[in-house]
Amino acid sequence: MQQGGSSYPSCSSTSDCFSLTHLSAAQCGSENLSEPEKSEVRANNTSTELSRMRSLVMFYLSYLLCVCLGLSCVICVYVWNSQWLGGFSWDGSFLQFNWHPVLMVTGLVVVYGIAAVMYRIPLTWGQNKLPWKLLHAVLMLIALVLSVVGLCAVFDYHNAKNIPNVYSLHSWIGIVATALFAMQWAFGATAFLLPCSPLSLRKLLKPVHVWFGGSVVFLSIAACISGINEKLFFDLKENTTGSQHYRELPPEAVLGNALGVLIVAFGLVVLMILSNHKWQRPDSRTGDLAYAPLLQEENE
Protein backbone atom coordinates (compact mmCIF):
# COMPACT_ATOMS: atom_id res chain seq x y z
CA MET A 1 0.00 0.00 0.00
CA GLN A 2 1.34 3.47 -0.86
CA GLN A 3 2.02 5.85 2.00
CA GLY A 4 -0.16 8.95 2.12
CA GLY A 5 1.73 11.99 0.82
CA SER A 6 4.48 10.48 -1.24
CA SER A 7 6.37 7.30 -1.93
CA TYR A 8 9.70 6.60 -0.36
CA PRO A 9 10.24 2.95 -1.12
CA SER A 10 13.14 2.18 1.10
CA CYS A 11 15.25 3.03 4.10
CA SER A 12 18.09 1.11 5.60
CA SER A 13 18.25 2.34 9.18
CA THR A 14 16.22 4.36 11.66
CA SER A 15 18.04 7.52 10.62
CA ASP A 16 17.45 6.75 6.93
CA CYS A 17 13.72 6.65 7.49
CA PHE A 18 13.51 10.45 7.98
CA SER A 19 10.99 10.74 5.17
CA LEU A 20 8.56 8.51 7.04
CA THR A 21 8.66 10.75 10.11
CA HIS A 22 7.60 13.58 7.84
CA LEU A 23 4.86 11.44 6.30
CA SER A 24 3.42 10.40 9.63
CA ALA A 25 3.08 14.03 10.70
CA ALA A 26 1.38 14.90 7.42
CA GLN A 27 -0.95 11.90 7.66
CA CYS A 28 -2.03 12.82 11.16
CA GLY A 29 -2.70 16.41 10.02
CA SER A 30 0.07 18.76 11.23
CA GLU A 31 -2.41 21.71 11.24
CA ASN A 32 -4.03 20.11 14.32
CA LEU A 33 -0.75 20.08 16.28
CA SER A 34 0.02 22.35 19.23
CA GLU A 35 2.78 25.04 18.98
CA PRO A 36 5.53 22.92 20.66
CA GLU A 37 4.60 20.04 18.34
CA LYS A 38 4.74 22.38 15.31
CA SER A 39 8.22 23.61 16.24
CA GLU A 40 9.27 19.98 16.71
CA VAL A 41 7.98 19.24 13.17
CA ARG A 42 9.90 22.33 11.84
CA ALA A 43 13.10 21.17 13.62
CA ASN A 44 12.62 17.70 12.16
CA ASN A 45 12.18 19.19 8.68
CA THR A 46 15.43 21.20 9.00
CA SER A 47 17.28 18.12 10.23
CA THR A 48 15.72 16.12 7.35
CA GLU A 49 16.90 18.73 4.82
CA LEU A 50 20.45 18.67 6.23
CA SER A 51 20.44 14.87 6.18
CA ARG A 52 19.35 14.89 2.51
CA MET A 53 22.04 17.38 1.50
CA ARG A 54 24.68 15.31 3.30
CA SER A 55 23.39 12.22 1.52
CA LEU A 56 23.58 14.02 -1.88
CA VAL A 57 27.17 15.17 -1.29
CA MET A 58 28.18 11.66 -0.17
CA PHE A 59 26.52 10.18 -3.25
CA TYR A 60 28.33 12.47 -5.70
CA LEU A 61 31.69 11.86 -3.99
CA SER A 62 31.11 8.10 -4.23
CA TYR A 63 29.98 8.40 -7.84
CA LEU A 64 33.09 10.45 -8.72
CA LEU A 65 35.26 7.80 -7.04
CA CYS A 66 33.41 5.09 -8.98
CA VAL A 67 33.98 6.85 -12.35
CA CYS A 68 37.68 7.57 -11.55
CA LEU A 69 38.29 3.94 -10.49
CA GLY A 70 36.50 2.68 -13.61
CA LEU A 71 38.61 4.89 -15.92
CA SER A 72 41.79 3.81 -14.09
CA CYS A 73 40.85 0.14 -14.62
CA VAL A 74 40.33 0.67 -18.37
CA ILE A 75 43.60 2.66 -18.76
CA CYS A 76 45.52 0.12 -16.67
CA VAL A 77 44.29 -2.98 -18.56
CA TYR A 78 44.83 -1.24 -21.93
CA VAL A 79 48.40 -0.11 -21.04
CA TRP A 80 49.27 -3.59 -19.71
CA ASN A 81 48.10 -5.36 -22.87
CA SER A 82 49.35 -2.80 -25.39
CA GLN A 83 52.73 -1.88 -23.82
CA TRP A 84 53.80 -5.04 -21.96
CA LEU A 85 52.00 -7.80 -23.86
CA GLY A 86 52.56 -6.67 -27.46
CA GLY A 87 49.28 -5.04 -28.47
CA PHE A 88 46.27 -6.39 -30.34
CA SER A 89 45.36 -8.42 -33.39
CA TRP A 90 42.62 -10.90 -34.46
CA ASP A 91 44.72 -13.68 -36.00
CA GLY A 92 44.58 -16.53 -33.46
CA SER A 93 47.92 -15.45 -31.94
CA PHE A 94 48.52 -14.33 -28.34
CA LEU A 95 47.84 -10.79 -29.64
CA GLN A 96 44.24 -11.89 -30.12
CA PHE A 97 44.16 -13.18 -26.54
CA ASN A 98 45.08 -9.63 -25.42
CA TRP A 99 41.61 -8.45 -26.41
CA HIS A 100 40.16 -10.77 -23.75
CA PRO A 101 41.27 -8.92 -20.56
CA VAL A 102 40.72 -5.48 -22.14
CA LEU A 103 37.17 -6.24 -23.31
CA MET A 104 36.12 -8.17 -20.20
CA VAL A 105 37.37 -5.49 -17.79
CA THR A 106 35.91 -2.68 -19.94
CA GLY A 107 32.58 -4.39 -20.65
CA LEU A 108 31.73 -6.82 -17.86
CA VAL A 109 33.21 -4.67 -15.07
CA VAL A 110 33.45 -0.94 -15.90
CA VAL A 111 30.63 -0.20 -18.40
CA TYR A 112 28.41 -2.67 -16.50
CA GLY A 113 29.17 -1.01 -13.14
CA ILE A 114 28.62 2.52 -14.45
CA ALA A 115 25.31 1.44 -16.06
CA ALA A 116 24.24 -0.32 -12.84
CA VAL A 117 24.58 2.80 -10.66
CA MET A 118 23.14 5.17 -13.32
CA TYR A 119 19.64 5.21 -11.75
CA ARG A 120 21.10 6.39 -8.45
CA ILE A 121 22.10 9.82 -9.90
CA PRO A 122 19.62 12.23 -8.23
CA LEU A 123 19.83 14.69 -11.17
CA THR A 124 17.88 12.17 -13.26
CA TRP A 125 15.03 11.75 -10.78
CA GLY A 126 13.02 14.78 -11.90
CA GLN A 127 12.73 13.54 -15.43
CA ASN A 128 10.69 10.96 -17.32
CA LYS A 129 12.14 7.55 -16.53
CA LEU A 130 11.87 6.07 -20.04
CA PRO A 131 14.97 7.76 -21.60
CA TRP A 132 17.02 6.69 -18.58
CA LYS A 133 15.71 3.15 -18.86
CA LEU A 134 16.72 3.13 -22.53
CA LEU A 135 20.18 4.52 -21.67
CA HIS A 136 20.55 1.85 -18.93
CA ALA A 137 19.54 -0.87 -21.42
CA VAL A 138 21.82 0.50 -24.19
CA LEU A 139 24.85 0.79 -21.84
CA MET A 140 24.19 -2.74 -20.58
CA LEU A 141 23.91 -3.98 -24.18
CA ILE A 142 27.28 -2.33 -24.99
CA ALA A 143 28.75 -4.02 -21.89
CA LEU A 144 27.26 -7.38 -22.97
CA VAL A 145 28.55 -7.08 -26.57
CA LEU A 146 32.05 -6.16 -25.32
CA SER A 147 31.99 -9.16 -22.94
CA VAL A 148 30.82 -11.58 -25.65
CA VAL A 149 33.50 -10.30 -28.09
CA GLY A 150 36.01 -10.66 -25.23
CA LEU A 151 34.94 -14.31 -24.81
CA CYS A 152 35.13 -14.88 -28.59
CA ALA A 153 38.75 -13.59 -28.52
CA VAL A 154 39.81 -16.24 -26.01
CA PHE A 155 37.76 -19.05 -27.61
CA ASP A 156 39.30 -18.28 -31.05
CA TYR A 157 42.79 -18.15 -29.52
CA HIS A 158 42.27 -21.47 -27.71
CA ASN A 159 40.86 -23.11 -30.87
CA ALA A 160 43.81 -21.86 -32.95
CA LYS A 161 46.26 -23.32 -30.40
CA ASN A 162 44.23 -26.51 -29.74
CA ILE A 163 43.75 -25.58 -26.11
CA PRO A 164 40.45 -26.83 -24.61
CA ASN A 165 37.93 -24.17 -23.63
CA VAL A 166 36.24 -23.62 -20.26
CA TYR A 167 38.24 -25.95 -18.04
CA SER A 168 39.68 -23.59 -15.39
CA LEU A 169 37.78 -22.24 -12.38
CA HIS A 170 38.41 -18.73 -13.79
CA SER A 171 36.60 -19.69 -16.99
CA TRP A 172 33.73 -21.40 -15.13
CA ILE A 173 33.09 -18.30 -13.01
CA GLY A 174 33.55 -15.97 -16.01
CA ILE A 175 31.14 -17.97 -18.19
CA VAL A 176 28.52 -18.07 -15.41
CA ALA A 177 28.91 -14.28 -14.94
CA THR A 178 28.44 -13.58 -18.67
CA ALA A 179 25.53 -16.04 -19.03
CA LEU A 180 23.80 -14.54 -15.98
CA PHE A 181 24.41 -11.07 -17.42
CA ALA A 182 22.88 -12.07 -20.80
CA MET A 183 19.82 -13.58 -19.04
CA GLN A 184 19.59 -10.52 -16.81
CA TRP A 185 19.62 -8.23 -19.86
CA ALA A 186 16.97 -10.24 -21.75
CA PHE A 187 14.82 -10.58 -18.61
CA GLY A 188 15.25 -6.86 -17.77
CA ALA A 189 14.36 -5.69 -21.28
CA THR A 190 11.26 -7.92 -21.33
CA ALA A 191 10.04 -7.02 -17.86
CA PHE A 192 10.92 -3.33 -17.70
CA LEU A 193 10.91 -2.04 -21.30
CA LEU A 194 8.03 -3.84 -23.02
CA PRO A 195 4.88 -1.69 -22.59
CA CYS A 196 2.70 -4.80 -22.13
CA SER A 197 4.52 -5.77 -18.92
CA PRO A 198 2.24 -4.88 -15.96
CA LEU A 199 3.39 -2.40 -13.28
CA SER A 200 2.71 -4.92 -10.49
CA LEU A 201 5.06 -7.43 -12.15
CA ARG A 202 7.76 -4.74 -12.49
CA LYS A 203 7.50 -3.84 -8.81
CA LEU A 204 7.74 -7.51 -7.86
CA LEU A 205 10.71 -8.19 -10.13
CA LYS A 206 12.72 -5.00 -9.44
CA PRO A 207 14.47 -6.19 -6.23
CA VAL A 208 15.26 -9.53 -7.96
CA HIS A 209 16.70 -7.60 -10.95
CA VAL A 210 18.84 -5.39 -8.65
CA TRP A 211 20.04 -8.41 -6.64
CA PHE A 212 21.02 -10.44 -9.72
CA GLY A 213 22.73 -7.30 -11.05
CA GLY A 214 24.88 -7.16 -7.90
CA SER A 215 25.62 -10.89 -8.23
CA VAL A 216 27.00 -10.31 -11.74
CA VAL A 217 29.39 -7.66 -10.30
CA PHE A 218 30.47 -10.17 -7.61
CA LEU A 219 31.03 -13.00 -10.12
CA SER A 220 32.73 -10.84 -12.75
CA ILE A 221 35.21 -9.44 -10.23
CA ALA A 222 36.02 -12.92 -8.86
CA ALA A 223 36.61 -13.99 -12.50
CA CYS A 224 38.82 -10.93 -13.21
CA ILE A 225 41.01 -11.44 -10.12
CA SER A 226 41.56 -15.13 -10.89
CA GLY A 227 42.17 -14.31 -14.57
CA ILE A 228 44.80 -11.60 -13.88
CA ASN A 229 46.50 -13.87 -11.32
CA GLU A 230 46.57 -16.76 -13.83
CA LYS A 231 47.82 -14.53 -16.67
CA LEU A 232 50.71 -13.15 -14.55
CA PHE A 233 51.78 -16.69 -13.54
CA PHE A 234 51.61 -17.78 -17.23
CA ASP A 235 53.57 -14.81 -18.58
CA LEU A 236 56.13 -14.16 -15.85
CA LYS A 237 57.96 -17.49 -15.66
CA GLU A 238 61.61 -18.22 -14.94
CA ASN A 239 63.93 -18.80 -17.91
CA THR A 240 61.75 -17.05 -20.47
CA THR A 241 63.67 -14.50 -22.57
CA GLY A 242 64.62 -11.48 -20.54
CA SER A 243 61.61 -11.61 -18.20
CA GLN A 244 61.65 -11.80 -14.43
CA HIS A 245 59.52 -14.30 -12.51
CA TYR A 246 56.24 -13.06 -11.01
CA ARG A 247 57.66 -13.66 -7.51
CA GLU A 248 60.33 -10.99 -8.15
CA LEU A 249 57.53 -8.47 -8.70
CA PRO A 250 58.78 -6.84 -11.92
CA PRO A 251 56.94 -3.68 -13.12
CA GLU A 252 54.47 -5.76 -15.19
CA ALA A 253 53.53 -7.77 -12.08
CA VAL A 254 53.00 -4.59 -10.07
CA LEU A 255 50.84 -3.18 -12.87
CA GLY A 256 48.77 -6.40 -13.08
CA ASN A 257 48.34 -6.56 -9.30
CA ALA A 258 47.43 -2.85 -9.21
CA LEU A 259 44.81 -3.51 -11.91
CA GLY A 260 43.35 -6.25 -9.69
CA VAL A 261 43.24 -3.93 -6.69
CA LEU A 262 41.57 -1.17 -8.77
CA ILE A 263 38.96 -3.65 -10.05
CA VAL A 264 38.16 -4.82 -6.51
CA ALA A 265 37.92 -1.20 -5.29
CA PHE A 266 35.63 -0.32 -8.23
CA GLY A 267 33.41 -3.34 -7.46
CA LEU A 268 33.18 -2.41 -3.79
CA VAL A 269 32.18 1.20 -4.62
CA VAL A 270 29.55 -0.02 -7.13
CA LEU A 271 28.10 -2.46 -4.57
CA MET A 272 28.17 0.24 -1.87
CA ILE A 273 26.20 2.62 -4.13
CA LEU A 274 23.73 -0.14 -5.07
CA SER A 275 23.20 -1.26 -1.48
CA ASN A 276 22.65 2.21 0.02
CA HIS A 277 18.87 2.55 0.14
CA LYS A 278 19.09 6.28 0.80
CA TRP A 279 20.44 6.62 -2.74
CA GLN A 280 17.70 4.63 -4.46
CA ARG A 281 15.53 6.45 -7.01
CA PRO A 282 12.22 7.05 -5.20
CA ASP A 283 9.19 5.37 -6.74
CA SER A 284 6.47 7.66 -8.02
CA ARG A 285 2.78 7.69 -7.27
CA THR A 286 2.10 8.48 -10.93
CA GLY A 287 3.34 5.13 -12.24
CA ASP A 288 6.52 3.64 -13.56
CA LEU A 289 7.50 6.19 -16.20
CA ALA A 290 7.51 9.54 -14.38
CA TYR A 291 9.29 10.34 -11.13
CA ALA A 292 9.13 13.31 -8.77
CA PRO A 293 12.56 14.19 -7.40
CA LEU A 294 13.23 13.97 -3.68
CA LEU A 295 14.13 17.65 -3.22
CA GLN A 296 11.62 19.09 -5.73
CA GLU A 297 8.79 17.35 -3.89
CA GLU A 298 9.31 19.49 -0.80
CA ASN A 299 9.14 22.71 -2.82
CA GLU A 300 5.88 21.86 -4.52
Binding site for a copy of itself (CB under 8 A): 1-4, 7, 9-17, 20-21, 23-24, 27-28, 44, 163-164, 167-170, 172-173, 176, 203, 206-207, 211, 214-215, 218-219, 221-223, 225-226, 228-230, 232-233, 246-249, 253, 256-257, 260-261, 264, 267-268, 271-272, 275, 277, 283
Q: Given the complex with a copy of itself, which of 89 and 165 has the nearer CB atom? A: 165
Closest CA to 11 of 294, 297, 296, 299: 294
**Which of 226, 225, 238 has its CA nearest to residue 246?**
238
Cα separation, 166 vs 255, in Å, equals 26
- Smallest gap from residue 249 Cβ to a copy of itself (A): 5
Rounded to a whole number of angstroms, the minimum distance from the CB of residue 153 to a copy of itself is 18
For a copy of itself, give the closer residue by CB, 140 or 273.
273
User: Residues 70, 266: contact at Cβ < 8 Å?
Assistant: yes
Tell me the C-alpha to C-alpha distance, in Å, between residue 73 and each of 79, 153, 261, 264: 10, 20, 9, 10
**Which one, 142 or 261, has the nearer CB to a copy of itself?**
261
* Cβ at position 283, least distance to a copy of itself in Å: 6
Quote the least distance from Cβ 156 to a copy of itself, whole Å: 17
Q: Which is nearer to a copy of itself, 142 or 191 (CB)?
A: 191
How many whole angstroms separate alpha carbon 227 and alpha carbon 221? 10
Short-list 131, 109, 297, 92, CA closest to 216:
109
Q: Which is nearer to a copy of itself, 51 or 197 (CB)?
A: 51
Q: How far is the CB of 264 from a copy of itself (least distance, A)?
A: 6
d(CA 260, CA 118): 23
